[in-house]
């Protein structure tokens, strides 16, 4: 049983709060992603789980055991770092074998355990090479093999793909997802890349300034962001956010006017909508303004306007043609819109 619980966990250094009252129950075999910008507390949270940072307040439970006071080696947790952390003088085989030697696993078991790990990360033909002879993606697979060889109860992965190029990121991401489904081990994965989070996670924890902003499935977080921070952090492009006033179901902002919104809210609100949910129209749109830019994305084109102090984007078909400065209109149906309180940033329930 590898259920992981963090009960009101905080980490402080003097007056600085790195993690504030982190409370979460991570299910056995769940793939959970901690997502947020640099400095949001996600890596500190992971390091507290691993035992590399002490807990200022709260409790961390692994199964039926509180592990706050246990040394890292006694927590039965494997961690994969951004920097790989391989021994340059050891072969792939010996790097993956190393945790077994440290934990004094009987030598007669090593070969079978190491070879099974090597096969899982598809490194059979590289097992006699040293790290300097490997590509970045192969080194990351060695680090993964070393983490899985002793069958821990929890995997921790701290930005494992950030040193890889875009193509390798995609293939290694798929391999991590496939490995976790085969191993069925509780996994906590840290990243600032929302695409990684959306493609890998069963649940995502969005963090900012040491606090949890929202917890949910990738679909929940994408479709129903809890506040403007989550809305602006999730999605490529991020959700369009326009400040304005709402009265009797009519939203008015700079260069935008949307009718048919809920009438129970009023005053200063922020209107949000996704680029793919609106559409370019020849006339009668809720936006009609000079086009700021047009970008071909391959499968679509992205039209952008400057609305007030910010930019607003809408996706359209890849064959769309217009010149910068041309007046282009967009239809924004009320049913695709999200409303947020401008002062607090919190979502207004509709």
**pLDDT digit string, tens, across residues 291-310:** 999 999 999 999 999 998 89
Would you list the DSSP string of 46-75? HHHHHTSS--SEEEEEETTEE-TTS-GGGS
At residue 102, the pLDDT reads: 81
Direct distance between the N- and C-terminal alpha carbons of the chain, in angstroms, rounded to an integer = 40
If residue 330 lies in a helix (H) or strand (E), which one and from where to where?
Answer: strand 327-331
If residue 117 lies in a helix (H) or strand (E), which one and from where to where?
Answer: helix 110-120
Has this prediction a pTM greater than 0.95? no
Give the mean pLDDT per block of 10 residues along the chain (350 residues). 91 96 96 95 96 96 93 87 82 91 87 88 90 87 85 87 78 83 89 92 97 97 96 93 96 94 93 97 95 94 93 96 95 97 93
Q: How many CA atoms lie within 13 A of 191 on its CB side?
A: 24
At residue 147, the pLDDT reads: 84
At residue 168, the pLDDT reads: 74
Structural domains present in the chain: 4-229 (3.40.50.300), 239-341 (2.40.50.140)
At residue 140, the pLDDT reads: 82
């Amino acid at each position: 049983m590898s259920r992981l619980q963090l009960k009101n966990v905080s980490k402080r250094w003097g007056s600085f709060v790195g993690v504030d009252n982190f409370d979460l129950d991570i299910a056995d075999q769940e793939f959970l992603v901690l997502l947020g910008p640099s400095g949001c507390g996600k890596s500190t949270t992971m390091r507290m789980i691993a035992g590399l940072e002490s807990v200022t307040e709260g409790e961390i439970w692994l199964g039926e055991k509180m592990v706050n006071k246990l040394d890292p080696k006694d927590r039965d947790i494997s961690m994969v770092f951004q920097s790989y952390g391989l021994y340059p003088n050891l072969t792939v085989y010996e790097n993956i074998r190393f945790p077994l030697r440290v934990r004094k696993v009987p030598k007669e078991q090593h070969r079978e355990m190491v070879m099974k790990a090597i096969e899982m990360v598809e490194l059979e033909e590289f097992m006699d090479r040293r790290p300097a002879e490997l590509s970045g993606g192969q080194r990351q697979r060695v680090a993964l093999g070393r983490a899985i060889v002793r069958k821990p109860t929890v995997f921790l992965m701290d930005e494992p793909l950030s040193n890889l190029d875009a193509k390798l990121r995609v293939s290694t991401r798929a391999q991590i997802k496939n490995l976790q489904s085969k191993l069925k081990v509780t996994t906590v994965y840290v990243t600032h890349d929302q695409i990684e989070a959306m493609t890998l996670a069963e649940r995502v924890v969005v963090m900012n300034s040491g606090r949890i902003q929202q917890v949910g499935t990738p679909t929940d977080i994408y479709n129903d962001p809890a506040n403007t921070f989550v809305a602006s952090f999730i999605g490529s492009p991020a959700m369009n956010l326009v400040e304005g006033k709402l009265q009797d179901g009519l939203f008015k902002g700079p260069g935008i006017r949307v009718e048919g919104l809920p009438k129970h809210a009023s005053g200063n609100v922020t209107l949000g909508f996704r680029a793919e949910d609106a559409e370019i129209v020849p006339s009668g749109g809720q936006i009609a303004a000079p086009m700021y830019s047009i970008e071909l994305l391959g499968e679509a084109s992205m039209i952008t306007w400057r609305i007030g102090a910010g930019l607003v984007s809408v996706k359209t078909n890849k064959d769309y043609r217009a010149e910068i400065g041309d007046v282009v209109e967009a239809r924004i149906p009320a049913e695709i819109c999200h409303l947020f309180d401008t002062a607090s940033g919190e979502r207004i329930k509709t």
